[in-house]
Amino acid sequence: MKNRRKRKTEKQTLTEINTVDKFQGAERDIIIYDIVRSSKGQSNIGFLDDYRRINVAFSRVKRLLVVVGDSEYLIKRATLNQGGRFTEFKLQQIGQELQEQGLVFNQLHEIF
């Protein structure tokens, strides 16, 4: 009985799902970062305009970072918040650079 509980605990520590803020100061081998914002037209990106949050999310990975989201929206239609404190849209710049390098995929099978 003890061994079963121990194994279950070990499996639970392999995967952690949390917000960006909860990972601050920690590192992980693999991070899957989900950008949940999307719109058919232009709209404000919301809290994702804060490049410091993106830095926390992207700099905590040791081996593999996967960003999931609407790349078309992020790269072409998302805008910074009007009157916000940030003047550069770092996440959009990163998305554009990744697209230029051929690292933006629209379908999962394109990766493999």
Residue 45 lies in a domain: yes
pLDDT above 60 for 5: no
Provide the domain limits for residue 99: 20-110
Q: Higher-confidence residue: 25 or 98?
A: 98
- Give residue-wise pLDDT tens across range 75-100: 999 999 888 888 899 999 999 999 99
Phi, psi (degrees; rounded to nearest 5) at 111: -75, -35
How do residues 28-76 score in pLDDT, each as one tens digit? Answer: 898 888 888 888 888 888 888 888 888 888 888 899 999 998 999 999 9
The reported pLDDT for the residue numbered 44 is 87
C-alpha to C-alpha distance for 47 and 39, rounded to whole angstroms: 15
**CA atoms of 65 and 103, how far apart (whole Å):** 12
The C-alpha atoms of residue 61 and residue 72 are separated, in whole angstroms, by 24
Does some domain include residue 63? yes
Residue 77, domain member (yes or no) = yes
Query: Number of structural domains, the chain?
Result: 1
d(CA 72, CA 92): 10
- Lookup: tokens for 62: 């040791």
The yes-or-no verdict on residue 103 having pLDDT over 70 is: yes
> Does any domain span residue 69?
yes
Residue 13 inside a domain? The answer is no
Percent of the chain with pLDDT strictly greater than 70: 88
CATH assignment at residue 55:
3.40.50.300
Domain assignment present for residue 57? The answer is yes
Would 64 be classed as within a structural domain? yes
What confidence score (pLDDT) does residue 12 get? 53
